[in-house]
Amino acid sequence: EVQLVESGGGLVQPGGSLRLSCAASGFTFSSYWMNWVRQAPGKGLEWVGKIKQDGSEKYYVESVKGRFTISRDNAKNSLYVQMNSLSAEDTAVYYCARGGVTRYKGPDYWGQGTLVTVSS
């Protein structure tokens, strides 16, 4: 059974940093693109970014470029996102979601999410 479990969310001050983690199990982690997707309160889903199987390619939504960095450790079956210079607009539930074997496929399995609140 595919499982994705996010952790690391919490309350952070504006301008601060936070690192989210996602532990994957039930599939060959190193064979899939992986995504981060977020949902701000009362808003829809927003794709944040994705990383290739070997970590050699990373892509982001414009609003987080230069502030967020996605990484992965295939030996630990783990996905990460380092979030810097956080603002209130980054307040959201962050989901880890498995992509496809190819770069084109959308997410199929999702975690339950972890809440990030940016507030003073």
Partner 1 sequence: QSALTQPPSASGSPGQSVTISCTGTSSDVGAYTYVSWYQYHPGKAPKLMIYEVSERPSGVPDRFSGSKSGNTASLTVSGLQAEDEADYYCSSYAGGNTLVFGGGTKLTVL
Classify residue 65 by burial, with Cβ atoms within 10 Å: 0-12, 13-18, 19+. exposed
Q: Total number of residues binding partner 1 (CB under 8 A)?
A: 25
Q: Does 59 bind partner 1 (CB under 8 A)?
A: yes
Structure tokens belonging to residue 6: 């996010």
CB-nearer residue toward partner 1: 51 or 118: 51
Residues 9-28 that bind partner 1 (CB under 8 A): none
Q: What is the CA radius of gyration of the chain?
A: 13
Q: Does 62 bind partner 1 (CB under 8 A)?
A: yes
Query: Which of 16-24, 64-72, 73-81, 105-113 is the region at the interface with partner 1 (rule: CB under 8 A)?
Result: 105-113
Q: Which helix (H) or strand (E) holds 6?
A: strand 3-7
Cβ-Cβ contacts under 8 Å for 37 (sequence gap 6 or more): 45, 46, 47, 48, 94, 95, 97, 107, 110
8, 21, 30, 47: residue in contact with partner 1 (rule CB under 8 A): 47
CB of 49 to partner 1, least distance (A): 9
Binding positions for partner 1, rule: CB under 8 A: 4, 35, 37, 44-47, 50, 57, 59, 61-62, 95, 97, 103-113
